[in-house]
Every structure is written in C-alpha cells, then in structure tokens.
Amino acid sequence: MKIMSVNAGSSSLKFSLFEMQDESLIASGYFERVGIEGSFYTIKYNGEKIREEIEMPNHTVAVEILLDRLISLGIIESLEDIDGVGHRIVHGGDKYSQSVLVTDKVIEDIRAVSDLAPLHNPAHLLGIEAVRKALPNVAMTVVFDTAFHQTLEKTQYIYPVPYEWYTKYAVRKYGFHGTSHRYVAKTISEVLGKDDLKVIVCHLGSGASVSAIKNGKCIDTSMGFTPLTGVMMGTRTGDVDPSIIPYIMEKEGLNAAEVLNIFNKKSGLLGLSGISGDCRDIEEGIKQGNERCKLAMDKFVQTIVNYIAEYYVELGGIDCLCFTAGIGENGIDVREAICQKLECLGIHIDISKNKVRGELTEISKDGEKIKVYVVPTNEELMIARDTLALIR
C-alpha cells in the first residue's frame, strides 16, 4: 500500500510517499512560494532530484501539479495507486489525543482552534481541502502535533493563572513536536525491547523541545501554550519573564505583537550571538573566538540541561536519554556539552561513539545503566503509519 504524508504551510506544501509494505520512501518533495510570484517545486525519487519553476496560485493547483508529476515521472501508474493521505496538523486543542480520519466535524474542530495556531492550522486546512478535491475517494487522516501530549496530568498542563482563563479561553500547556517525540519513544522501545521505559527525548532543531515519557506516554513536555516556551531555540526565547514584554514596549515604543515577533524570530541563538540562529554558524563562531557565540551556545545547552534534570526527577530516574532532530542528530559538540553537565545523574557518553551524525546509535559508555542514543526522527513515516492503521 502506498501512503502519502502531507504538510501544508501558508505558502508551501511538503510531501513524502511511502510503500508501506517495507516502509520505504518512494518519493518526497517540497512545493514553495505557493500563491507567491516565483513559485517552484523539487521532487526527489530514485536518487534523482527534479526542480521546476511553475506558477502555483494556490494549494489546489500545487496538489494538481504534484499528482500530475507523480504520474508523468513514472513514480506511480495512476492516482488509484495512492491508498491514503495523512496530514500533519500543528494544533488539535485538547479534543484529540490520537490521529483520526478526516470528516467534516474534524475539519470544523481544526478550524475552531485556529486562533491557537493562526500561522499553521488555516494553512493545513488549505492542504486538506486541496487534496480532498483532487482525490475525493481516497481516505485521509489528520495527525496532530499536540496529540501525544494529551496524556499530561492536569497539574502539569494547567497554568497558575485565573482558572477561568482555562475554562473560557483554553489557556493551558499543549506541547508540540508530539509526532516526533512519539516516533522516537516507539523506536527506542523497539531497540531496547522494552515497553516499560522511562525516557527523556530531546528534539533539538531550529525549534526545540524536551519530553518526559513513561511507558510510552508523555507525562511532561517543555513547550507550552505555544511553541515559544521551554528551552532556548534558534530564534525563540524559550522561557523568559513575561514582564519583559511591557517593559520593552515602553522602552522601544513597540506594541505587544511586535515584542512577541522579536521573541519568536529574533531571539534565541540569533539574539544572543547577533550572527545566526543556526547552530552550525554558532559553532563556527566559537572556533573563531566569538564570545557572544560561546555565550549563546552555553545558554542553549544550559536550558536543555535544566529540563532534562527536572524530568529526571519527575520520572524518578530514567532508562534512556534520546537526541533527535537536526541538532540532536548532528550536533556532536552540543550532545557532549549537555551530557557532561549530566554526569552527576549517572549519564556518561563515550566520546568516540558520539562522533556520529544522523544514525541510530548508542553513544553511552559500555555497561552504563542509563543509555544515551541518537535516534533520527521521521515524522512523515509516523504520519503514514497512523494513516495505514486508520484506513485498515
């Protein structure tokens, strides 16, 4: 069976097509600048990469072009070869704790919580409607980034603000990157051959989050009401005192939205270093003796260590620490710096084993009680797996 995973952005459409018999990736691609002048797409298959500049005024046209190219390039013989389509949805509110088949009710529920993810959910809906129009007889599912974190106890997701804000406006911790955290937790369970594990997963990329997972269920996660909170990130602040907002508004003559835009897009590694939000650029700056780059990296590492230590206590000790996503999978120096600060908790890595990028690898020292792993994430495959299970 062939399943397609789709992630629609406001001006983009990303897809992956899998053969689920062996979970192999048949093709993947990215349609960019949808609805904007200069739109183009890239499709990778059979070791080749096709790029074409073509007008895509909306997501419907983008999907039509995608399906046409899948056939014209010989990737599939006909549209009937596609057995299901799974859509990534950033926010499902507190209604959905698992993936579901697309129905009119589900679409309305996604639309109803769009004010919680105004940059994402409306775009995801455009993708759903476009695929629905092009493939009306193909089963579709939605996979929520927030779903995995719906197992949090109320004491973990509630905020110490007026309770009416929760009941009236749904102000609470939701958490994100859930599909990635779930994939990593499932993978490490299979690797270690145990379901009753206490695991901390560090999803470290331009966006970053840490989750505490017990027996396959999330009990706490660092991101909150929005993806802004938690550990410091590429361009996001992570946790800061909210009183900074009115203070800077007055000092800089900005409004709240402008300050939050700075918190989201001009802070984190970028804000402290003044150079870049990309960890690779920060590491290069450190090699050149840039003190602000070193400060940015030290702060990044410390915020992650703080959450790992907190979740270690919350879980009552751990069996495994996992690193995933762009920095987690490739950041050799970052992993080493984090684990060195955690040695007091019994976490010890082998420096030679740690010299790995993008491979499923144990990097803890031989015989250590607490295992440390690099686990490449695959959110698209997780979406495809959920879709296959639901359509069956």
Whether the CA torsion 22, 183, 97, 119 is positive or negative: it is negative
CB 328 within 8 A of CB 319: no
How far apart CA 181 and CA 178 sit, in angstroms, is 5
CB 250 within 8 A of CB 224: no
- R_g over Cα of the chain: 21
- Give the residue from 304, 239, 235 showing the smallest Cα distance to 276: 235
Locate 27 and state its tokens.
């093709």
C-alpha angle 85-97-358 in degrees, rounded to nearest 5: 65
Distance from first CA to last CA of the chain, Å, rounded?
Answer: 11
In order of 71, 311, 327, the CA distances from 279 in angstroms are: 39, 24, 7
CB 253 within 8 A of CB 226: no
> In this structure, what are the phi and psi dihedrals at residue 58, rounded to the nearest 5 degrees?
-160, 175
Active site residue 386: no
With b for 16 or more beta-carbon neighbours within 10 A and e for fewer, the 351-374 pattern comes to eeebebeeeebbbbeeeeebbbbb
The residues, ordered by sequence, that sit 6+ positions from 268 with a Cβ below 8 Å of its Cβ are 232, 233, 234, 235, 236, 237, 238, 277, 296, 300
Beta-carbon-side half-sphere exposure of residue 36 (alpha carbons within 13 Å): 13
Burial class of residue 324 in the structure, from the number of CB atoms within 10 Å of its CB (0-12 exposed, 13-18 middle, 19+ buried): buried
C-alpha angle 309-190-26 in degrees, rounded to nearest 5: 110
Q: Which of the residues 68, 83, 115, 145 is marked catalytic? A: 145
Catalytic site positions: 145
